Homo-oligomer: A and B are copies of this chain.
Amino acid sequence: MNREIHLASRPQGWPTADNFRLVEAEVPTPAPGQLVVRNRFMSVDPYMRGRMNDVKSYVPPFQLDAPLDGGAVGEVVASEAEGFKPGDTVLHGLGWREYALLDARAARKVDPSLAPVSAYLSVLGMTGLTAYAGLLEVAGMQPGESVFVSAAAGSVGSLVGQIAKLKGASRVIGSAGSPAKVERLKALGFDAAFDYHDGPVRDSLKAAAPDGIDVYFDNVGGDHLEAAIASMNLHGRAAICGMIAQYNETEPPAAPRNLALVIGKRLTLRGFLVGDHGHLRDRFVRDMSGWLRDGKISYDETVVDGIENAPEAFLGLLRGQNLGKMLVRV
């Protein structure tokens, strides 16, 4: 028997467990060129909230009464495709189910002896590349610059801060949503960290970065982006990766109200998707593997067990209950 999570209804504002449905289905059989994969880990990511809305975007919306999808890693259990055999570990895009039926070209083999398989969904996967590409290519961080990252205890943010230090940032500041997360950031080597509940972000950032910031890696939007614009030095750059603060808002947000500062300060705000930066993958894997081998990068995972708990894992992610990467062990 296969179990999968369907989208039962489209959320208005914050999603709830009622928007999801656990459905039993048959374990699929591969046609020529196809694989069946028993998923071991699946990823839940903030961008999935956008796909629950029925709007045109860079990825099509999730369909009602059909399984959700997203990054997953698992073992091939049946193959009708050359180059894949049972027991192979593959990375692919059909999470939210126990067994996935895939075209072989949509699967990428990974080596489970090099790293725990979950790492291919986090530090060695899309999450890590997002941090790497956004910081170094989109924002173009240079040694000696000062970097601020929001949602810094999350999967992408915690890597952004560590990569920044490894690449020579003069000062790295992170914001997070609890005292425990702030402590974790300090342990990860951030020069300063603050809990955004403790006061206006603008004031907390000014105190943490008295000489301003050169680069902002935005995972949050709203008041965080406004604060970053206020603190930016001349020629500052923001790599805009996500705006989790507003994904569940039913009214569009008003911030940033200080956008006119981009002129006098000559700021650049640039949105990006990791999919445009695949040309960095080899360099990223080489750098990141080395840093992991040398113990220079730490990464956190928050693991929830059981496909039936995947909706709760996703809702917990939106509420900030994760430290590092939020994963479901299927």
Contact = CB atoms under 8 A, between A and B. Distances in A.
A270 B264 contact: no
Given A254-B257, A257-B253, A262 B266 contact: no
B265 A270 contact: no
B273 A269 contact: no
Interface in A249-274: 252-254, 256-273
Given A242-B263, A266-B276, 14 more contacts: A50-B264, A58-B234, A221-B259, A240-B262, A240-B263, A243-B259, A243-B260, A263-B272, A263-B273, A268-B268, A268-B270, A268-B271, A269-B269, A269-B270
A57 interface: yes
B253 A264 contact: no
Contacts of A242: 263
A149 interface: no
21 contacts: A50-B264, A57-B264, A58-B234, A221-B259, A225-B259, A241-B263, A243-B260, A254-B254, A256-B259, A262-B270, A263-B271, A263-B273, A265-B271, A266-B270, A266-B272, A266-B276, A267-B270, A268-B268, A268-B269, A268-B271, A269-B269
A16 interface: no
Contact of A264 (B256, B269, B271): B271
Nearest to A237: B270
Do most interface residues of chain A lie in helix, strand or loop, or is the interface mixed?
Answer: loop
A246 interface: yes
A252 B261 CA distance: 12
Interface residues of A, number: 33
Given A246-B260, A260-B246, A265 B221 contact: no
A248 to B, nearest CB: 12
Nearest to A272: B266
A266 B269 CA distance: 10
Interface string A63-106: 00000000000000000000000000000000000000000000
A225 B260 CA distance: 11
A270 B236 CA distance: 10
B276 A271 contact: no
